[in-house]
Chains A and B, each alone.
Chain A
Amino acid sequence: MIEITPRENPSRLLTAGVPVLAAVLSLVLAAIPLAFAGAPILDAYGQMVTGVFGSAFAFTEMLTRATPLIFTGLAAAVAFKARLWNIGGEGQLYLGAMAAVWVGTGMIDGPPILMVPLVLLAGAIAGGLGMLGPAVLKTRFGADEVVTSLLLNFIILIFVQMMLEGPLKDPMSLGWPQSEPIVDAAVLPQLMEKMRLHAGFLLAIGTAVIAHVIMAMTVWGLKIRAVGENPAAAKHAGIPVTRVFLAVAFASGALAGLAGVSEVAGLKGYLTADLSPGFGYTGIVVAMLAGLSPLGVVASAIFIASVFVGTDSMSRAIGVSSFLADLTVSMSLICVLLGGFFARFRIRRLKAGEAA
């Protein structure tokens, strides 16, 4: 027989070590599909490493990829802390991008000092409203926000395609469904010559720090955690549970919306329906790997961006499908989930005759 008992106090080292172990393990496990694909395994890993660390350009490309993941990771982390299952990050990202394009392609003209905050604000509000909807459906009607936020992803993506063939379509695009380019004043500037890394990255880091301060050091953070840990007790303690829940929903959606703004105004310059290769969904993995800690999100976003950029580069060199990256990322989620179990429980084999 096996006995499973909760650990008295899970050590900090264990709690912090689990995500790192999970990340390493998922990379090791990637050898199995590599072997199946008949790839030279060590060579493939080598290609992945040089694909990220081989040059300054490669490294900044990785940081560029990490930028939206920090935002969507924060969106999931903040929501999950309050036990709000926002699985709609992908849709909220597109809402943010659409709002940025709507405001930033000539509707308003102004200097960068005005335009940049304006597109950010528009995107954040659009994304925030995108999650406020499912949250209200939850508090008013009891409709499960997991399902509604998930289904909204599909609705919003179709809506984006509709807008890109209609009101948002660039008349100069020769028939391609894409928006007009963002005006220069609203563009998030590049950080270095000849690199695509843009100010959105710094903004993402700054946002993570702010989120950390709010969650760890303010009454607001305390309330959010209280609502997540025990809504009944929080209510008893006089915390307006519904209001906190709705506020978290708005904040979470706004964070995902900023991912969309950052991609449109910092990287692509215009909106297409393939702006995001699933950043919203990957944000969930980022948040879980980070143990829902806002600062941890930065680290895990960088890890996952490295997996994607490294695998892409390996895929080009060796020809193994780049779906390997999605596979590795999904395995890291399952590993960290399992790891959480071993951090929280002690597992002991009972000798014959010993009572449980």
Chain B
Amino acid sequence: MDNIAGTKSGLVWATNLSVIFLVILWLVPTIGLLVSSFRDREQISESGWWRAPFAVEQAFRINPEPEGVVQEGDLYVLEGNLFGDAGSGAVAGFGITSRAPGAAEPGMVYARFIVDVEEPDGTIDDTRLELAYPADGEPIFPAQDEDGNTILAETAVLDRALQVEANGDFRYLSDSEIDRAPTIYITAETPPEFSLENYDTILTSDNMDRAFINTLTVTIPATIIPICIAAFAAYALAWMDFAGRGFLIAMIVGLLVVPLQLALVPLLQLHNRIGIGQSFLGIWLAHTGFGLPLAVYLLRNYMVGLPRDIIESAKVDGATDFQVFTKIVLPLSFPALASFAIFQFLWTWNDLLVAKVFLPSNSESWVMTVKIADDLLGSRGGDWGILAAAAFISIAVPLVVFFAMQKYLVRGLLAGSVK
């Protein structure tokens, strides 16, 4: 067929490439989330998730104990190894300020001088100047500092100096007595780290497990109960003759698009009046009501297409409507029931609006969507690893359902969109 059509191979290539491009475009955001959820907090802030498989240069702060300080001339000297006794790490750079934690390479000396500068108007002032220079060399002062003042190099006085080797050996010099632990910054390559730590944190310390169970508690009854109610109604609308049937079907088509927002205030008031209030019972009833139009519509459309012969011959044989429904129509309608069940499951699991209104607003009753939107995005705003893990916990179950039952979902979509 393709050959007869004379499809050019160039077009096939272009099609393949553009589909690959679109698929990647669609997947990238989700993959980013998934990768980030396994990454360590520091690594997330050091490098993008797309560089997750590679080593990350991370900055560390180390405060070595000021033990064994010796005096050499005017200066006090502290020597040792930053990693304890053994030189286990590999230092990539070091420094004495958090601004520039990797300012000097191993083997160099990084020093701070107090030096006089001459401002353009002739005033003499002093400033601090940090410099890196080879251990066997001399510091070379620039002619001017950042503000454009002339540096008077001959006035330089050493304030402190640091020398670190790649294996962690260090030598710290100071012009005043070292009685507190000096602060040393180093940068080191850390290998990529993937762990379940974020999941562990969010599930154990953040009440996400509770939210997960709440979501499950909301979802299951809210999926099953409307199916029961809708199946009978759909059968009546499909296979029973009575006045007003057409009107009812039109009504249900109309109700399919009624915005949920309309129902919130009056129904919450109603629930409060009859004593249900904001509770799980309330949200089950609400989801049941909101899911019914689609359920009835989908199931009726499917049932109407069942072969007339089977149903009529069963009736001729003396089966009642109730028997026809339970013994013949219901088993045959399984695909439609499955379609609606998936819809309703995804919808209730993913819902935020109904949960915010019909469930109590205390944290004990939060479902996962509310937990993420109202709590985590605020309290854990910058903690991307935790956020990613939380989001992934909330989307994992729907994703499994989605991929396992995609066939029914597609069928339901095709039957459910108003033709």
Is the A/B pair a real complex?
A: no
- Residues of A at the B interface (CB closer than 8 Å) are none
- Residues of B at the A interface (CB closer than 8 Å) are none
